[in-house]
Amino acid sequence: MKTTRAKPKDEKKPSGKRDRNKEKTKQQILAAALELFRKHGLEGTTTKQISQKSKIAEGTLFNYFKTKEDLALYFFQKETSDLIKWFAKEERLQKAPLPEKLFAIIHRQLEYITPYEDFIGAVFFRSLQAHSKLSPLSLESQELRLKYLRFVRDVLQQAEENEEIPRVGEMGAYAVGLFYVGIVMHWLHDGSEGKQKTLALLDRSLNLATKVLKKGGWDW
């Protein structure tokens, strides 16, 4: 095996063009879809438009993504993984007190989704639902949630170790996640300039929660 001519750039696998094309096509689709979703929202974007903009046949789209929602879900996958990467680099933030950390994290998430407001309104809540066999989102969205919860749990664990807060364990991460859902809900309704109201709410509630936690009584 691996007999014939040597290729200019060495590659682990004898294949090449195929994989490269595949990846390129996938990226084309994602770029086109995100652009269209941002401009016209989820329902306002047809798979035909996406495939045209990606310069592929309509059928091809479904070789890459099982459903249009799957495609939309990719946005949240990227959002989550970008968030985690970003946080890993923010050294100053790592040492900040917990409420500041959480504020920065959620604030960044809100900034990230800002250009996609309409789209988010239509998809965010669906991205939460898992299981229901009929929904094609099930498995992937499940994984996504877990990834996010793990990230939050790590942040909280650090605060536990620093004795900033008592033990909150898994449930703490779950609570923060739910809190985030509530914040996004508020954010979607928030008509104030620059969504100030949501940011104020975010700040107040995080401080309150931390104060309450510090005060103890968390005999879970």
Binding-site ranges for its own copies (CB under 8 A): 41-44, 118, 121-122, 124-126, 128-135, 174-175, 178-179, 181-182, 185, 188-189, 204, 208, 211-212, 215, 217-220
Give min distance, CB of 122 to its own copies, in A.
Answer: 5
- Applying CB under 7 A, the span of 45-53, 109-117, 150-158, 194-202 interacting with DNA comes to 45-53
Q: Does 31 bind DNA (CB under 7 A)?
A: no
Binding site partner of 185, from DNA, its own copies, none, Cβ cut-off 5-8 A by kind: its own copies
Distance in angstroms (rounded) separating the CA atoms of residues 16 and 11: 8
Distance in angstroms (rounded) separating the CA atoms of residues 100 and 93: 8
Per CB under 7 A, which of residues 106..145 are in contact with DNA? 136
Q: CB-based contacts of 173: which residues, under 8 Å, 6+ apart?
A: 149, 150, 152, 153, 156
Give min distance, CB of 30 to DNA, in A.
Answer: 14
**Please, how many CA atoms are within 13 Å of residue 217, restricted to the half-sphere of its CB?**
7
Name the H helices within 55-168. 58-64, 68-89, 91-95, 98-113, 117-123, 138-161
Q: Does 89 bind DNA (CB under 7 A)?
A: no
And the tokens for 48? 């035909």
Q: Does 48 bind DNA (CB under 7 A)?
A: yes
Give min distance, CB of 143 to DNA, in A.
Answer: 19
Distance in angstroms (rounded) separating the CA atoms of residues 176 and 182: 10
Give min distance, CB of 66 to DNA, in A.
Answer: 6
